[in-house]
């Protein structure tokens, strides 16, 4: 009888821990769903179909004149300056922001930062290298 109670309590404990883990996972999924990667093809489609789309290029000013130029309508705030210049983006808080850099690494970091600050942001997977790929 004591053994049955111990088994019952052990099963109850394991079930409780599993439920707590599941509830935390759901919270993380909600946050992750507001940030996602998009392909260059999806970006180009959004550029044609969403006049409110904001494109944020987080490369340095020097990179904008190199072999991978800036998308004409893009706003440029280098990743190194983004946290300090976040207020410049407040007017776009209710709009979708596509974040791009040279290859997608910096834009992923910038996208995470934007999402943590309440923005609707998507990272352009592959960056400008994929955008201008022939």
Pair (43, 20) in one structural domain: no
Pair (98, 43) in one structural domain: yes
pLDDT of residue 6: 72
E-strand stretches of the chain: 35-38, 54-57, 75-76, 96-100, 120-124
Pair (89, 39) in one structural domain: yes
Residues 104-129 pLDDT 10s: 999 999 999 999 999 999 999 999 99
Could you give the CA distance from residue 76 to residue 131 in angstroms, rounded to a whole number?
A: 16
Pair (9, 68) in one structural domain: no
Domain count, the chain: 2
pLDDT of residue 13: 61
Residues 21-63 pLDDT 10s: 444 444 444 444 456 899 999 999 999 999 999 999 999 999 9
pLDDT of residue 16: 59
Of 38, 54, 55, 101, the catalytic one is 101
User: Is position 22 annotated as part of the catalytic site?
Assistant: no
Whether 72 contacts 65, CB under 8 Å = no
């Amino acid at each position: 009888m004591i053994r049955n109670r111990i088994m019952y309590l052990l099963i109850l404990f394991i079930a409780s821990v599993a439920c707590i883990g599941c509830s935390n996972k759901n919270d993380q999924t909600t946050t992750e769903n507001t940030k996602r990667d998009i392909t260059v093809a999806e970006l180009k489609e959004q550029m044609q179909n969403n006049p409110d789309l904001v494109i944020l290029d987080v490369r340095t000013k020097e990179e904008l004149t190199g072999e991978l130029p800036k998308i004409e309508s893009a706003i440029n705030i280098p990743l190194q300056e983004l946290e300090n210049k976040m207020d410049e983006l407040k007017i776009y808080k209710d709009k979708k922001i596509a974040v791009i850099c040279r290859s997608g690494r910096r834009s992923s970091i910038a996208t995470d930062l934007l999402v943590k600050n309440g923005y609707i942001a998507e990272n352009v997977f592959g960056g400008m290298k994929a955008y201008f790929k022939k």
